[in-house]
Amino acid sequence: MSRLLVSVFMLLAPWSLAESKAPPPVKKPLKFGMAHPYGDAHAAQAKALIEPYLSKALGSAVTVQTFETYEALSDALATNQVDLAWITPLAFVQAAQKNRDVTAVSKAMRASDGGLFYRAVFIAKATAPLADLKALKGTKVAWVGKSSASGYLFPRALLKDQGLDPDKTFSSEVFSGDHPAVCKAVREGTVDVGATYAAEPKEGQALVPTGCEDAGPVGDFKVLGSSNNLPNEVIAHSPDFPLFRLNDVMMAFGRMGQSPDGKKVLADAFRAQGFGVAVEGDFDQVIALLKANDVKAKVAPAPEKAAKPSKKGKK
C-alpha cells in the first residue's frame, strides 16, 4: 500500500507544483482620459506623446481618449469608461460624488520650485485702466466654461468673497471653451477681463497668468485678483482599476522627470515639471465649493519602492 501511495504522489507532484505557482496577473490594455484645457492642437500633441510613453512604462497598451468637457471626463472616470484620467480637482471630486472608489494617484508639480498648487485669476490687458477686482463693475468677461474650476467656479467664488455678485458685476459674458481662447479674447479687446489660472509663484514674485502661455506673451496681461492656492490637476484611477497595477502607475508618473523622453512628456503634454503624491486634504477647498461635505476624496497610498537585491550571497 505504501508503494502505491508513493507512486500516486510522484504522479501528482508535478501537477501540484505547477498549480501552486499561480501565473502573474495579465496586464490588460488601459484607457487614459483627458480633456483639452489648452485647446485641440495641444490635446492631439499630448495624445501622441502619452500613448507610447505610458505603454512602455506600464508594460501594456495605453490609449488616450479626449473628452470635450470635464463633466464628460468625470462621468467616464466614475463609470469605468476610462481606467486613468488626467483631471482637474473639481472634476475629480465630482467623480467621487458619483462613485466613492474613484481615487487620486498623483498631482502635477509646476513652477521652477516644484509648486503643487495654482490660483484662479482674473486678467486684463497690461495697458488696461483696470486696477483690481473692484473695477470690474460693468465690464465684459470671458470664462472658460461652467465646469472649469479656474476658468469659472473659483473666480466666481472669489468675487463673492470680495462682496461682489458674479451675476450682476459684468455687463456681458462669453464662454470661450479653453484658456488660450479666454486670453485671446482679452488681448483682442472682445472682452475686458478673463478668468484663467496662474502657477504657484516663488516667494516674493508676482503672479503670471500661466493659462495665457499659448496665447502670446504672458507679459501682455496683468492679474487683477487671485484665489487662494488650489491643487493642480491629478492623475486618478477608476473604481474598478486593477490595484495590482497601482504601484507601477505611481512610479511611472513619479519617475517621469528622470529621463529625456519623460521630461518631454511632462513639458509638452502635461505642462508640468513632475508629479507628486496626492494627500488627504488636497481637495478640501473643492469639496467646500461644491458643498459636498459627505464626500471624502480618496487618495492612493504612497508607492512602494522596488526592493534592492541583497549583496549577501551574490555571485
Query: Looking at the predicted structure, is the pLDDT value of residue 201 above 80?
Result: no
Q: Which three three-digit cell numbers place residue 278?
A: 496626492
Radius of gyration in angstroms for the set of CA atoms belonging to the chain, rounded to a whole number: 24
- Residue-wise pLDDT for 224-251, tens only, equals 999 988 888 999 999 999 999 999 999 9
Q: How high is the mean pLDDT of the chain?
A: 87
- Predicted confidence at residue 111, as pLDDT, reads 64
Q: What's the N-to-C CA distance of the chain in angstroms?
A: 46
pLDDT at residue 20 in the model: 53
Report residue 256 as a C-alpha cell.
517621469
Condensed to tens digits (0 to 9), the pLDDT of residues 79-108 reads 999 999 999 999 999 999 999 999 999 999
- pLDDT reading at 60 higher than 50: yes
Which position has the higher pLDDT, 255 or 203? 255
Task: Check residue 204 and give its pLDDT.
Answer: 78
Predicted pLDDT at 116: 73
Q: What is the 3-state secondary structure (H, E, C) of the chain?
A: CHHHHHHHHHHHHHHHHHHHCCCCCCCCCEEEEECCCCCHHHHHHHHHHHHHHHHHHHCCCEEEEECCCHHHHHHHHHCCCCCEEEECHHHHHHHHHHCCCCEEEEEEEECCCCECEEEEEEEEECCCCCCCHHHHCCCEEEECCCCCHHHHHHHHHHHHHCCCCCCCCCCEEEECCCHHHHHHHHHHCCCCEEEEEEECCCCCCCCCCHHHCECECHHHEEEEEECCCEECCEEEECCCCCHHHHHHHHHHHHCHHHCHHHHHHHHHHHCCCEEEECCCCCCHHHHHHHCCCCCCCEECCCCCCCCCCCCCCCC
Domains of the chain, earliest start first: 30-113+232-299 (3.40.190.10), 117-230 (3.40.190.10)
What is d(CA 85, CA 245) in angstroms, rounded to the nearest whole number?
15
- Segment 67-82, tens digit of pLDDT: 998 999 999 999 999 9
Averaged pLDDT for residues 53-58: 98
Give pTM, 2 decimals: 0.75
